[in-house]
Structure 1
């Protein structure tokens, strides 16, 4: 049985399929080495932390900050499952890497604040490691400053209580953190290539992340950006756990 599982929170099948492949290839896992759980349509198994050694959580068009009454039943259920996983990882019972939408779930679950005050435009951004980040087992081998891609409508000014801030930038102060030794979270996307990210952009072209008329210009900036460093986090994650 594969040691790791990808947890999808994307209702769009094409986006979920592509994100799975991006995580798998970035982590350099062979086909069959990364399981997949579609949390939009199925619950996280009760024995998940016994079934898999670790988890990677992808992004989503959902937002943590949406009013609870406005959330679909699917979103409510998958957020509950991800919150349970975040608790288990924070307690050291499993390893998990929450990305983009996932970082919001982890932050809220662990007592932090998520708001619409720290969005980032779709496209490349510069990430800076904190001093703690330079010493972290997963992040420490990266350059102090590197490029990554983002696309989100919410974020945080500070990590949740007990978390160690690993990476930041001016637009969204919390770009990555660690809780304990086995829970990691990133606001930026560590997994996609430039091509995969721009293909994902096309799927969400009319979802308010950017002006649809700007697609070509943003895509050109993404393709002109070196995205070699973020996948190293995924390779370190699967190597560590």
Structure 2
């Protein structure tokens, strides 16, 4: 791997951010020195950032929603959103390798003037039964991923319709747009390809008062996540790193 992957993190909670970063490294088959990590809650994107010096960009999840009204966003959430959106014109203009996880599908959809809202398709914290579409079956990032698989989810907003020039790769009964591709190299998932049961347990404990689920159900959710067989989504992250690294 000659160029690093830029890992953009949006979580203001250090424990959650560190756990997510470790999971991205582990599931992507990378070491820290093969990445450039930026926590956008702490710092802005470098003014001299050059995509040509990177192998690709991976955006993690976060507690914010792009569809929230400006007055409902914290200053940190608003700044993070603005930073990621500012990078998207460069990425889509040159079809640069990009993988947006959960929050990333909202960012991509908003940038493409798509319909991202809370009107329908929100999913509670837990698992979703996903299915690869016929178009997805031919996509290199889904190489080795079974036609049906389980993924960890937890989101209040969702992509309501497919934006122009996007390909629908993965669906589920509860949220139709679980994975999409723009042009050839710009990807986004609604689910978390990096997440495993231990990581989701950490997030459940951190976010149990953020409106994703009744706090008193946290123990039951943790037990459900521990019992779930969620292994296929990590192949997407590994395929992304291998394809573009």
- SS of 1:138 mapped into structure 2: helix
Tell me the residue number matched to 1:5. 6
> Mean alpha-carbon deviation: is it higher for 38-47 or for 183-192?
38-47
For the residues of structure 1 that align with 2:164 and 2:117, how far apart are their CA atoms? 16
- SS of 1:42 mapped into structure 2: coil
Tell me the residue number matched to 1:160. 163
Superposed displacement of residue 91, structure 1: 2.3
Superposed displacement of residue 93, structure 1: 4.9
Whether 1:179 aligns to 2:182 is yes
1:70-219 equivalences in 2 (<5 Å): 70-116=72-118, 117-219=120-222
> Mean alpha-carbon deviation: is it higher for 15-24 or for 65-74?
65-74
Superposed displacement of residue 172, structure 1: 1.2
For the residues of structure 1 that align with 2:72 and 2:52, how far apart are their CA atoms? 33
Tell me the residue number matched to 1:33. 34
Tell me the residue number matched to 2:66. 64
Superposed displacement of residue 155, structure 1: 0.3
Tell me the residue number matched to 1:55. 57
Superposed displacement of residue 75, structure 1: 2.6
- SS of 2:159 mapped into structure 1: coil
- SS of 2:11 mapped into structure 1: coil
Superposed displacement of residue 141, structure 1: 2.5
Per-residue CA shift, 1:3-46, capped at 9, x if unaligned? 10210111111111111111111101123222210111211123
The number of residues matched between the two structures is 241
Superposed displacement of residue 198, structure 1: 0.9
Report the TM-score, using the length of structure 2 for normalisation: 0.93
Structure 1 residue ranges without an equivalent (≥5): none
Per-residue CA shift, 1:173-221, capped at 9, x if unaligned? 1100001111100000000111111111111111111111111211111
Runs of 4+ in 1 over 6 A off after TM superposition: none
Q: Is the 8 A contact 2:129 2:173 kept in 1?
A: no
Per-residue CA shift, 1:56-84, capped at 9, x if unaligned? 10111111111123333333332222123
Q: Is the 8 A contact 1:86 1:183 kept in 2?
A: no
Report the TM-score, using the length of structure 1 for normalisation: 0.94
Structure 2 residue ranges without an equivalent (≥5): none
Tell me the residue number matched to 2:23. 22
Superposed displacement of residue 2, structure 1: 5.3
For the residues of structure 1 that align with 2:33 and 2:225, how far apart are their CA atoms? 30
